[in-house]
């Protein structure tokens, strides 16, 4: 019975995380929602970074893959490019939290902003700069960087939600 209760607790926690990831995808793709000056935040990447900080390396990498797939669907990009980067970044995030950093809102916001900056810059390079479009620096400074800053600033909501879910489903050995 004890093993069964533990499995149900873990399943309920991951069900909440997946539903939260789906909610982030819906918020990210709903037109006009949370738009400031034509910039929308990206919700799934900071959520995956925060989950990886709380759940460990391998679980975090799986949620990073899921966030990458959701972001690729939302952005209309080739399946796999963001996912591979998110797997690596979420794994490195959870390792750095386990070894070097504390799980504070500021650290998690900076880590998610850094991940968004890396992925957004890579997407910009491969989608615009290498394609030979003219005046692409305006796209980077008016779209990519404000999106990174806005999404990083919204990370505190993800930290609060993941912290509540993580604390709610802690399995206690009796």
Each residue's pLDDT tens digit, 45-65: 999 999 999 988 899 999 999
User: What are the backbone angles phi and psi of residue 79, rounded to the nearest 5°?
Assistant: -65, 125
Residues 8, 14: Cα–Cα separation, whole Å: 10
* pLDDT for the residue 46: 92
pTM for the whole structure: 0.86
Summarised one tens digit per residue, pLDDT across range 120-174 is 888 888 877 777 777 777 777 878 888 888 888 888 889 999 999 988 887 665 4
The answer to whether the CB of 112 falls within 8 A of the CB of 77 is no
Q: What is the pLDDT of residue 15?
A: 92
Check residue 21 and give its pLDDT.
92
Tell me the per-residue pLDDT of 84-99, one tens digit each, with 9 for 90 and over: 889 999 999 999 988 8
What CA–CA distance (Å, rounded) separates 45 from 155?
9
CB-CB neighbours of 156 under 10 Å: 15
* Residue 6 banded pLDDT, cuts 50, 70, 90: confident
């Amino acid at each position: 019975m004890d093993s069964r209760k533990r499995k149900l607790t873990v399943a309920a926690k991951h069900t909440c995380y997946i539903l939260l990831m789906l909610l982030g995808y819906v918020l990210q793709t709903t037109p006009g929602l949370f738009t400031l000056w034509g910039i929308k935040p990206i919700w799934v990447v900071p959520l995956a970074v925060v989950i990886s900080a709380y759940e460990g390396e391998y679980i975090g990498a799986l949620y990073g893959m899921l966030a990458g797939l959701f972001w690729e669907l939302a952005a209309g990009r080739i399946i796999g490019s963001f996912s591979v980067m998110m797997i690596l970044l979420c794994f490195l995030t959870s390792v750095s939290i386990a070894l070097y950093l504390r799980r504070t809102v500021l650290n998690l916001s900076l880590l998610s902003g850094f991940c968004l900056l890396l992925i957004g810059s890579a997407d910009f390079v491969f989608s615009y700069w290498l394609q030979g479009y003219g005046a692409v620096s305006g796209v980077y400074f008016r779209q990519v960087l404000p999106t990174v800053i806005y999404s990083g600033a919204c990370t505190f909501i993800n930290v609060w939600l993941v912290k509540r879910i993580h604390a709610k489903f802690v399995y206690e050995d009796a």
